[in-house]
Amino acid sequence: MNKELMNYILGIKKAEAIAEKVVLLPYLPLKMFKDKFEKIEGTFAGSTQYKGFTASSQGQRLTFINTGPGSAAVGDLVLWLKDLAKKLLLAGSVGALDPELALGDYLLPVEAIAGEGFSQYLLQNAKQRFLEAPRVTIQDGLWERCEKLPVRKGVVYTIGALNAEENVFLELLRTQGVAALDMETSAFYAAAEKAAIPALALHYVSDLPLRQPFYQKPDKADQLKINYALEGFPQTIIDLILSL
């Protein structure tokens, strides 16, 4: 471990501050997960946006880190955790394109299409960007750990620009078998593969881009579905990382 780097990034001075099993949270607040533990071993925050805590459950130590949104924030941290983490879980949200996915559903990405890179949406047309995007897949043997959980599996497209969420492009993705959009999964899987760390992502469906834009507030019925999903999501994530 590069102590100077990790002290700057996470505010930790010893490798033991980070558990071997780590959950990365691009959007969800740490408090949602802290509330599931009776005792917190320690919290940390460096000179960056990253902050987190470590706690124990069922005799296993777990670390949760809020990364902030975006592929670079997640991918960089995965690489920095190379000498510390043995298992990784990304817990975030997706916008569903598959009509069989509903608000509040849990989705496990078995493949992520790397549509990262804001400038590429300005230099290429949408179809070209999709066709040329590399793909990264879930590592062998990890999906089986989720078979008993109430989750769906599918392909996600990690988008690099909210301005690209136009219906013509979203319809293209849907017709090509893309189940949902997010902004981190392809970077997470690619970085984990590079770092040789077993990694799994699990997201909840937070919006339906083909039905309404991301900036429109959901109605009361839709918000209830999202709230219900979020009530059970932290414990599902904890159970999943414990099983890895």
CATH code, domain with 181? 3.40.50.1580
Residues of the domain holding 48: 3-243
- Backbone φ and ψ for 230, nearest 5 degrees, come out as -70, -25
Strands (E), 6-161: 21-25, 40-45, 51-57, 60-66, 87-96, 106-115, 135-137, 152-159
One pLDDT digit (tens) per residue for the chain, 244 residues:
789 999 999 999 999 999 999 999 999 999 999 999 989 999 999 999 999 999 999 999 999 999 999 999 999 999 999 999 999 999 999 999 999 999 999 999 999 999 998 888 888 777 777 888 889 888 776 766 666 677 889 999 999 888 888 888 899 999 999 999 999 999 999 999 999 999 999 999 999 999 988 888 889 999 999 999 999 999 999 999 998 8
Q: Please report, as a single letter, which amino acid is at residue 133.
A: A
Domains in the chain: how many in total? 1
What is the spatial distance between Cα 2 and Cα 203, in angstroms, rounded to a whole number?
Answer: 31
- Residue 142, Cβ neighbours under 10 Å: how many? 17
Angle at 142 between CA 131 and CA 172, to 5 degrees: 20
pTM (predicted TM-score):
0.94
Is the distance from CB of 91 to CB of 185 less than 8 angstroms? no
